[in-house]
Structures are given as structure tokens and as C-alpha cells.
Structure 1
Amino acid sequence: MEMKSMRLGLIALSATMVSGAALAADIPPRTTPAYVAPANPYDIILEIGAGAQVAPAYEGASVNQAQPFPVFKLHYLAIPGFAPITNSRFDQGFSFSPSFRYISKRKASDYSQLAGLNDVDATFELGGKFAYTFGIIRPWVAVRQGFGGSDGVVGETGLDFIWRPDPVMELTLGPRASFATSAYMEAYFGVTPAEAARSPFLTAYSPGGGFKGVGAELSARYEVSSEWAVVGKLAYEKLIGDAADSPIVKVGDENQWTAQVGLSYKFGMRLFGN
């Protein structure tokens, strides 16, 4: 009798476990909903503008002149099928942004120190800038390919120390270094034998690639509104190495100063529909 009761109890327990397992299989497991970031209403957010600068008339010049300069920054880009590119000034970690520079034509007849040299056509440089921000420190490097007067590669690297006294103001200060390939150095610091024969000041010189300058930069940004900002920069570069040894610099100045102030406008656009 006891064996029969135990057998019936085991059968009942087994039936209960099987029915409980079947019921559990019918109930979806409880999960915490994943956080979904709000969709950006734009596919691209750009900042463009312009300003005026006082800068060396050409690399190695002893005279400065007033020149216009452009402002361009990519804040956000989302291409279907790819991770979005973000470049907010408050972002931490890795960031990428385009880097470009326009160098106006160097006309030898405009400067007595360049007498006998060939003109160097205007150059447009296009490339990218990579940075890593942690806290108030941001190391970065920018590399660009030249098209036009110089087809060399040129770039800069630096370390920014960031100070934000309030949400609309940002100041950065840090060391800088610039570098270039031999093709760039030949275009802006080289002197061919034929040019040297025509020049009353310059001897033939063929520079190699490498670091061409070191210095420091102070930049400022003040956001007047969510769209408009005033930007400025004060930079110093001392030409070094083969750049400093160039006869063009010897009759000019290895100390190069640049001051800029400009106004920029930030806006977004849809590129790929709704």
C-alpha cells in the first residue's frame, strides 16, 4: 500500500513539473527594454563660415599680410548602412573630421626676396583629422594630400588642453608640430639650380621630407546661439630642420605668427529622404 501511494505521488509530481514547464515555455521571458537613442532629424550637420587672418605672406616670409580664411567643420554624418560620424566638441573617445587647407598662389614678382624663383600655383589640400578626447585632454593628428602647386603630403599633430568656463565658451591651448614629404618641401622651400642662377639672393637647395615646424596654438570659440559662433586663433610656428635651412627662410623669417577671427553658422540637412 505504501509503495502504491509513493508511486502515485511520484506520478503526480512528474505531471506537475511537465505541465509547469509547458506553461513556462508559453510565457515570453521578461526582459528590460533596450535604450534606443532618439533619431537625429538630419543626415548631415555642417558648420561653415569665413573670417580674416593676419598671417605670413608665404611660408618662411618675414612680412605678414591680411587674408581671408574659410571655416568648415563636420559635426554629424549618417550614411545608410554605415555607423554615423559624430564630431561634437563634448564627445569623448575617438573622433574623425575632414581636414582641408587652401594655399594661394605664391607669385615671386610680388616679393623682392623671391626674385628669380618660379611661381607656385595655388594648392588645395584634402585629408582627415583623427583625435582622441579624454577629459580635458585631446591629442590629434591631421594628414592631407596636396593638389595643384604641390602634390606632396603635409600634416600637423598636437595636444589640446580644453577649458570650458561655461557651456557656450571653449578655449584650447597646446603644442603643435607640422611635417611634410619632400614633394611639399621642394615646392615651398626648394631652389633649383636654374632659379639660383637668376636670383641675387638665393643658392640652390633641395630639402628632404620630415618635421618642418614646432609651436603652440591658442583657440577660442563663443556660441552666440545654437547656430552662430565666433571663432578665433593665435598660433606660433618656428620652422625647423630642412625648412629652416632653406635659403628662402634665411632671407625671410623662421618665426611664423598667425591670428584669425571669424564667424560660423551651423545647420543640418536631409540627404537620404525621410
Structure 2
Amino acid sequence: MRMRALITLVALCAAQPGFAQTEDARPGPPAGRGPDARDDGWNITVGVAPVLSPVWQGSSDMALSIFPDLRVNYKDVIFASIPDGLGWNAINSDGWKAGPLAKLRFGRDEERGGSPFLITGGSNALLGLGNVKAAAELGGFAEKRVGPWRGRVEVRRGFGGHEGVLADGSVAYQTRTGRTIINFGPRATVASKGYIDRYFGIDAIQAQRSGLQSYAASGGLLSYGVGSTVIHPLNRRSALTLFSGLDRLGEEAGDSPLVRERGRRTQFTLGLGYGFRFNL
């Protein structure tokens, strides 16, 4: 039981449900950096984040999920959280950060969609396509901060539910209004055939079961859009985070009969998170 609990904890820390995918776009004080945050030990943040998002990537149906927020930081060296995964700042100087990164991508259920924390809402568009298992994504990241600007790139290879390669890129501008921190900027994801065809391709058997036309997807631009977060500290240890994203699927994913006939290319996400931090 202890081993199972440990595995669950690591999975929740490393999981990527698909919302708030930038470093500062998450519930609670960003990276444990509240007014009294210190870099001399462990910081843990716990909380919840109700999220309104498409039932599955490319869906026209919306659903409400409540994601747990569990974030662990050791100084400015090790980080683990739901949106950011499990990583190590092996390089951390002169505004640069870089190192290895691991994330868990939740699979897709043909009856429930892509969220394991679904509360309400759903879609029958995936019936006949089968389930996609969860995948571990291993790779690395690099980012550079220059004044209020931050650029970040992540490259990860999937194992399990998909065998593709994904590259996420984003640029964010940060500003403040009193104690409130605001981040916004563009982002994009490029994926290989192994990912796009797994989620948007339709083989002969799936076509027969679902009624959709067969489709073989290639690699390319998966999505592009903009994201924003508004982080408002409530006190020295807790904060509210409002985050949103507007993205559009690229041609390879958007041209899939699944999206053209049962979904839409434009995707919107809105969430509100609460986090409470304490030090060890």
C-alpha cells in the first residue's frame, strides 16, 4: 500500500492534464515564490483547480473537471507539479534554466474523453475509436528570462499510450498590478506522426466502428494560440490563479474527420485554482 501511494503521488506531481502549461500558469503562488517563500529547503503546495475545457483535444463539447494541485519544490533546483511535470534545473544561471523533464499524459477514454477528473459534461464523438492509454513523456527543457520576458522550449518523447515526439514553445510577458501577477503570451506545439496519428488518425477498424472515414495523419504543427494567467496572493501562503487559453489545431489534426465532423479546431480553456503553500 505504501508503494502504491508513492507511485500515485509521483504520478500526480508529474502529470500533464493539458491545462496551464506554462511555468507560472498554475494554482497557488508560482513556483513557491510567495512573499515569504525561501530557497533553503522544501516547499509544498496543495490545492484544487476547477477547469472548463474541451472533453478531448479537438472536441466541440465542453466539460468541467476538478484537478488536484500538488506541487513540490526543492530550493530552485527540483520541481514537480501537475502542469510542469518532474524536472531538474541542471543549469540555472544568468537567466537560463535547463535540464531533464518527465511528464505523464493522461490517456483518452472513448466514453469519458481525456480528463480523469471529470465532474460533468461529456461527448459520444469518440465511440468506436477505442481508448488511448496514458503515456510517460521524457525529455528536457530550456528557458531564458530577459526582464519581464520569458521564452521556453520543451522536447519530450512518449512511451506507452503514444510513441511520438512533441516540442512545446512559448513566450510570456509578465507584469504586476499591486500584488497581482499577470502573465500572457503566444504558444505552439509541434508533434510527430506518432502522436498526431495516435490521437487524430482513424484506421480501417476504427472507421468501421465509428462511422468516420479512414484518415492517416502526419507530423506537423499540432496547435498554436495564446495563454494567460492572473495570480492574486490572498496572504503569505495562499493564492488564487485564474488561467485561460485559446488555441487552434494545426492542419494535420484539424483535417481529421473526427475534428471536421464531430469537433472543432478552435479550443478554449478556463480555470480557477486555489493553492496553499507550506515549508518543510
| TM-score past 0.5 threshold | yes
- The separation in 2 between residues aligned to 1:99 and 1:263, in whole angstroms, is 24
* 1:78 Cα deviation from its structure 2 partner: 5.4
Using the TM superposition, give the Cα deviation of residue 70 of structure 1 relative to its aligned residue in structure 2, in angstroms: 3.9
SS at match of 2:207: helix
Q: Which residue of 1 aligns with 2:151?
A: 139
The answer on whether the counterparts of 2:227 and 2:244 sit within 8 Å (CA) in structure 1 is: yes
For residues 152 and 140 of structure 2, what CA distance do their matches in structure 1 show? 11
Quick check: 2:248–2:267 contact (8 Å CA) kept in 1? Answer: yes
- Structure 2: where are the runs of 5+ without partners? 1-37, 79-87, 113-121
Q: Per-residue deviation at 1:215?
A: 0.6
Q: Does structure 1 residue 235 correspond to structure 2 residue 234?
A: no
Q: Structure 1 pair 86/230, CA: closer, same or farther in 2 (3 Å)?
A: farther
Equivalent in the alignment of 2:43: 45
Aligned length: 222
Two-structure CA RMSD over aligned residues (Å): 3.0
> Do 1:108 and 1:117's aligned partners in 2 also have CA atoms closer than 8 Å?
no
Superimposed CA distance per residue, residues 153-193 of structure 1 (whole angstroms, 9 cap, x where no aligned partner): 33421110111123x32101111111222221122111011
Instruction: Please list, as runs of the form range in 1=range in 2, the aligned pairs for 1:26-175 lying within 5 A after superposition.
Output: 41-42=40-41, 44-71=42-69, 72=71, 74=73, 76-77=75-76, 85=89, 93-96=95-98, 100=103, 102-108=105-111, 111-125=123-137, 127-166=139-178, 168-175=179-186
User: Which residue number corresponds to residue 194 of structure 1?
Assistant: 205
Post-superposition shift, 1:99?
6.3
Cα deviations across residues 35-71 of structure 1 (Å, max 9, x unaligned)?
Answer: xxxx9541x3344432110011001111010012243
Alignment of 1:213 with 2:223, yes or no, is: yes
C-alpha distance in structure 2 between counterparts of 1:157 and 1:40, whole Å:
27
**156 and 247 in structure 1: CA distance in 2 versus 1, 3 angstrom threshold:** same
| Within-5 A mapping of 1:172-191 | 172-191=183-202
The answer on whether the counterparts of 2:40 and 2:75 sit within 8 Å (CA) in structure 1 is no
Q: Percent of aligned pairs with the same residue?
A: 26
1:254 is the counterpart of 2:256: no
Larger Rg: 1
If asked which structure has higher relative contact order (CA below 8 Å, sep 6+), I would say: 2
How far apart are residue 124 of structure 1 and its match? Answer: 4.8
TM-score, scaled relative to structure 1: 0.70
Taking structure 2 as the reference length, the TM-score comes to 0.69
CA shift, 1:115, in A, is 3.2
Query: Equivalent residue of 2:125, what SS?
Result: helix
Find the aligned partners of 1:203 and 1:171 in 2 and give their Cα distance: 44
**Which residue identity is paired with 1:76?**
K
Distance 1:158 1:78, change over 3 A: closer
Q: CA 1:68–1:154 in 2, change beyond 3 Å: closer, same or farther?
A: farther
The verdict on how the C-alpha distance between 1:143 and 1:121 changes in structure 2, with shifts beyond 3 A counting, is: same
1:137-161, Cα deviation, whole Å (9 max, x unpaired): 1111233343442233334211101
* Structure 1 gap ranges (5+): 1-38, 270-274
